[in-house]
Amino acid sequence: MEPRKVDIFDTTLRDGEQVPGASLNRDEKLQIAHQLAHLGVDVIEAGFAASSPGDFAAIKTIAEQVKGPTITALARAVKADIEAVAEAVKPAERKRIHMVLGTSDTHLETKFRKSRDEILEMGVAAVKFARNLCDDIEYSTEDASRSDFDYLCRTLEAVIDAGATVVNIPDTVGYAVPEQWGDLIRRIIERVPNIHRAKVSVHCHNDLGMATANSLAAVKAGAQQVECTINGVGERAGNASLEEIVMAIKMRGDFYGGRTGIRTQEIYPTSLMVRELMNMPVQRNKAIVGANAFAHSSGIHQDGFLKNRLNYEIMRPEDVGIEKSDIVLTARSGRHALRHRLEKVGHYYDASHREAFEHIYARFLTVADRKKEVTDEDLHHIVSDAPMDVPEQYLLEDFHATSGSQQAATAHVRIHISGESIAESGTGSSPLLAAFDAIDRITKLPSHLEDIQTSANGKEGVHNVTVRVSYHTQTFFGRSADTDVVKAGIQAYLSSLNQLVARHSGLL
């Protein structure tokens, strides 16, 4: 029997992007969307169109440029939201409007203050309205896991009659457990008379660590679409993780009897890109994509593994795109080798990106000078440091920082500002903060340092530093990477300040 197709609906750019600190600009969203198309997802949820003009523009750009998957965006069940999605996804080859309306009594009573019948009417009217703008309509019954079963079924039947083509059953609060959740999906399919006219979808959250298990229980029960995100990013404890669901369906086809359209070799490059651009690292022991997912450390395991890898490994790392470098990148590697390796990890630079590529090549050479070998993770750090279209008003000339157990850290920083070279000293609880103090004394900007995140891998690794700076209600992110954490931090800080003064030139 031909295995049943399970659609993969990726919501990294909507549910995942709602996470504080994980927000993406338009170019970053577009870059991830291209990679998701490459990965082979069936649907990309590109954002929440009515949330901001910026998100609307990002969705529209993705709809214009990303070919292959269906492009959708989220709407509440109100006309303005639905129109915004219809307008944003209009340029796409395949498009869908996704709307959400609660069905649990908690949501009805406290969020909407409306009766069950009133909400049902509102949902049906919204679907009918949306069907005039788009042929493919997905309806999500928010908080379904805590909704009354009869009311949930009545709602599904009514919205399918009104024209919904996909009905999504979300475990919005991560309350479900696998056996019960699978049973709920099975009972919905049995009970709702017109259910065969729509696809059944699930959207599970990971508050109890069961998002993947619940999604798979639903697939087993007959769900035809799963909503998920790369690395499981998403609200609170996150969404079901795409890589886990896809690999479980693939590895345990004997049990699930299904298949997805995912090119699994693209999983790892996609995972790296998302963790980098969203500033969301994954833990080392994360299933499928963690640094240790294919590492064998105990002696007994190593011995057994070397005799036959199947002793301790159910999948091959290359099946998910983790491969031993065919070319070792060193200071002697040329542009061709670098471009080839970048493509393997999901970064494409054609003739139109010459300037960006040259910048990356220069950064690569500086890193390679100080390290024997440049790893794929280093490459992602280097790429994420590529310049944005912001003039560099502040440019680091040199710095010196010290710290010790008996004294506060001190730093001396020299910066180039419009033809002048200015130096200052600063102090702080760490060399990084001392350097920032020195920079503040030079720039005298009224901005506020909100957050610093650093990450590094290995003892020779590249340090990736992200700095978040606020000015009134605006936030500016600066990123940089270097083998020296203080230098990376200074550059990240200056990058955020350069963005700030680009927007508010009066502050200079």
Provide the binding-site residues for Zn ion, judged by CB under 5 A: 15
- Choose between 17 and 482: whose C-beta lies nearer to Zn ion: 17
Residue type for position 262: I
Other CB atoms within 10 A of residue 35 CB: 23
Say if residues 39 and 12 touch (Cβ distance below 8 Å): no
Smallest distance, Zn ion to C-beta of residue 269, A:
25
10/377 with CB nearer Zn ion: 10
| Cβ proximity to Zn ion, 15 vs 244, nearer residue | 15
Q: Which is nearer to Zn ion, 203 or 275 (CB)?
A: 203
DSSP 363-400: HHHHHHHHSS---HHHHHHHHHTPPPS---SEEEEEEE
| Chain centre distance of CA 4 | 28
Residue 15 or 376: the one with the smaller Cβ distance to Zn ion is 15
Cα–Cα distances (Å) from 483 to 139, 385, 456, in that order, read 49, 13, 9
- Closest distance of CB 414 from Zn ion, Å: 48
We find the least distance from the C-beta atom of residue 348 to Zn ion, in angstroms, to be 30
* Smallest distance from Zn ion to CB 197, Å: 25
Task: Give whichever of 200 and 486 is closer to Zn ion, judged by the CB atom.
Answer: 200
CA angle, corner 148, sides to 143 and 151, nearest 5? 100
Least distance in angstroms from the C-beta of 363 to Zn ion: 36
- How far, in Å, CA of 113 to CA of 49, rounded? 25
Q: Which is nearer to Zn ion, 15 or 266 (CB)?
A: 15
Nearer to Zn ion, 202 or 486 (CB): 202
* Smallest distance, Zn ion to C-beta of residue 235, A: 5
Nearer to Zn ion, 140 or 498 (CB): 140
As given in the structure block, the two tokens for residue 321 are 């795109």
Cβ density class 77-110: b for 16+ within 10 Å, e for less: bbeebbbbbbbbbeebebbbbbbbbbbbeebbee
CB 397, CB 414: distance < 8 Å: yes
The residue among 104 and 491 lying less far from Zn ion, judged by its C-beta, is 104
Q: Which is nearer to Zn ion, 15 or 276 (CB)?
A: 15
**CA distances (Å), 91 to each of 26, 59, 67, 173, 198, in order?**
16, 10, 11, 33, 24
Nearer to Zn ion, 238 or 321 (CB): 238
CB closer to Zn ion, 12 vs 498: 12
Pairing of strands 225-228, 7-10: parallel
Q: Which of 361, 355, 353 is nearest to 383 (CA)?
A: 361
The minimum distance between CB 232 and Zn ion, in angstroms, equals 12
Q: Which residue, judged by CB position, is nearest to Zn ion in the bound state? A: 15
- Which tokens go with 116? 């069950």
Name the minimum Å distance from CB 50 to Zn ion: 17
Length of the chain in terms of residues written: 508
In angstroms, give the least distance from the CB of 21 to Zn ion: 17
Which DSSP string do the residues of 90-152 spell out, in sequence order? Answer: TTSSSEEEEEEEE-SHHIIIIII---HHHHHHHHHHHHHHHHTT-S-EEEEEETGGGS-HHHH
Non-local (6+) Cβ contacts of 116 within 8 A are 105, 108, 148, 151
Q: How far is the CB of 145 from Zn ion (least distance, A)?
A: 12
242 and 229 Cβ atoms separated by less than 8 Å: yes
Distance in angstroms (rounded) separating the CA atoms of residues 258 and 246: 10
Question: What are the two backbone dihedrals, phi and then psi, of residue 47, each rounded to the nearest 5 degrees?
Answer: 160, -165
* Neighbouring-strand partners of residue 216: none
327 Cα distance to chain centroid: 28
One-letter amino acid identity for 201?
S
Contact 474, 458 (CB under 8 A): no
Least CB distance from residue 142 to Zn ion, whole Å? 9
CB of 290 to Zn ion, least distance (A): 23
Shortest distance, position 413 Cβ to Zn ion, whole Å: 43
Q: What is residue 209's DSSP assignment?
A: S
